[in-house]
Amino acid sequence: MGIALIWCLALILIKWITSKRRGAISYDSSDQTALYIRMLGDVRVRSRAGFETDRRGSHPYIDFRIFHSNSEIEVSVSARNVRRLLSFQRYLRSSRFFRGITVPNSSNILDDDYNGQAKCMLEKVGNWNFDIFLFDRLTNGNSLVSLTFHLFNLHGLIEHFQLDTMKLRRFLVMVQEDYHSQNPYHNAVHAADVTQAMHCYLKEPKLSKSLTPWDVLLSLIAAATHDLDHPGVNQPFLIKTNHYLATLYKNTSVLENHHWRSAVGLLRESGLFAHMSLENRQLMESQIGDLILATDISQQNEYLSMFRSHLDRGDLCLENANHRHFILQMALKCADICNPCRTWELSKQWSEKVTEEFFHQGDIEKKYHLGVSPLCDRQTETIANIQIGFMTYLVEPLFGEWARFSNTRLSQTMLGHLGLNKASWKGVQREQSGSGDDVDATFEEMDSDILPQEPRLS
């Protein structure tokens, strides 16, 4: 018994010493940047803010406390080699897996047997009143995987491109996992919502008769991945904290470049298009990048001016591949900011979520004296003010031009919802300021005929 006890104490001491020092960096070190570099290899985080993060995630929210567990040392060499290929989000999951730890609230992503209500909703996936929040609940948080896989099948892409369905599902699972569920707005549900909107636009007469399977493939992949690995903060935040992504992309379309490169990484890792020629794969990656980079809101006026000029001249020819690609860029831009064009019930939820994300960034900026970014101060801003400005300066101009290009029932429905929602927020604004009646007179007088009604989903 005495010898056994001595051996146990010796092992505990060795384990304690090992956990305290790996290489030249102490696991108890307050130098979080050095610790991150030590644990993740090539990643270089350069932040002068020097704060410890409030929640787990990728950039810049990294919870270094996960590295303090002694059990991490017991991970096998093979496990460490595997996780070097993973994004930060999937690294966390794999480390738990190799330690035999069950991830709480696992979502059974590969389970195809979702209930009848979700299947019923997918039959109406082309309806503009599609409730993505309900669909996400019915699919146990797997709306992006379920919806995008269904759309690939619906558009005949699996058969046309001879895709391996297991590789496709694996790719979509990796995409969904690399969105940060902690983000109130920029998460996988937003990506699913944008993908569903993109599908609605692809069905529009001018597009449906002109687009090739290649165009549809690029559009759906770009929509599903357009905010991949979004950190929940905006580009100015990354720049003023000297984040390594800002340095990498020279302070230009930082997030959009990161989303695109992340998507390319997952495409290659999944091997989904490994059977295609290298030339076609490179073309696909480049064109997906063109679509995702177009969603940079700072480039809004440039794209809108080009779109308006084409419409004024009437020279858009969808038989031209370059013109089709430009229209797909505009379609993705519309899909990305279409929330104010949804029904009030859906639009209001999105407005609350994006404002919560803005305010969370503002809270961090205040806490670490970084200077609060515009729209991010919960003490001076309101949801109503933010949404009215967003609709006036960004959404209305874009969707007005889209309606010129595609003057259909869907376009009129979107503009109708946009007008009603703006009037509703103005009513909220007046109520909060205590000036005037609760209901906007304009809202009362608007003709209900402006909103063609689609069958409501049960």
CA distance 180 to 188: 7
Please state the three-class secondary structure of the chain as a single string: CHHHHHHHHHHHHHHHHHHHEECCEECCCCCHHHHHHHHHCCCCCCCCCCCCCCCCCCCCCCCHHHHHCHHHHHCCHHHHHHHCCCCHHHHHHHHHHHCCCCCCCCCCCCCCCCCHHHHHHHCCCCCCCCCHHHHHHHCCCCHHHHHHHHHHHHCCHHHHCCCCHHHHHHHHHHHHHCCCCCCCCCCHHHHHHHHHHHHHHHCCHHHHCCCCHHHHHHHHHHHHHCCCCCCCCCHHHHHHCCCHHHHHCCCCCHHHHHHHHHHHHHHHHHCCCCCCCHHHHHHHHHHHHHHHHCCCHHHHHHHHHHHHHHHHHCCCCCCCHHHHHHHHHHHHHHHHCCHHHCCHHHHHHHHHHHHHHHHHHHHHHHHCCCCCCCCCCCCCCCHHHHHHHHHHHHHHHHHHHHHHHCCCHHHHHHHHHHHHHHHHHHHHHHHHHCCCCCCCHHHHHCCHHHCCCCCCCC
Q: Is 89 a known ligand-binding residue?
A: no
Pairing of strands 25-26, 21-22: antiparallel
CA distance 225 to 259: 7
Name the token pair of 304: 């809108």
Q: Is 226 a known ligand-binding residue?
A: yes
Find the catalytic residue in 186, 258, 259, 417.
186
Cα–chain center distance at 129:
21
Q: Is 186 a catalytic residue?
A: yes
Q: Is 190 a known ligand-binding residue?
A: yes
Residue 441: what residue type?
A: A
Active site residue ranges: 186
Residues forming the annotated binding site for AMP? 186-190, 227, 336, 387
Residues forming the annotated binding site? 186-190, 226-227, 336, 387
Residues forming the annotated binding site for Zn(2+)? 190, 226-227, 336
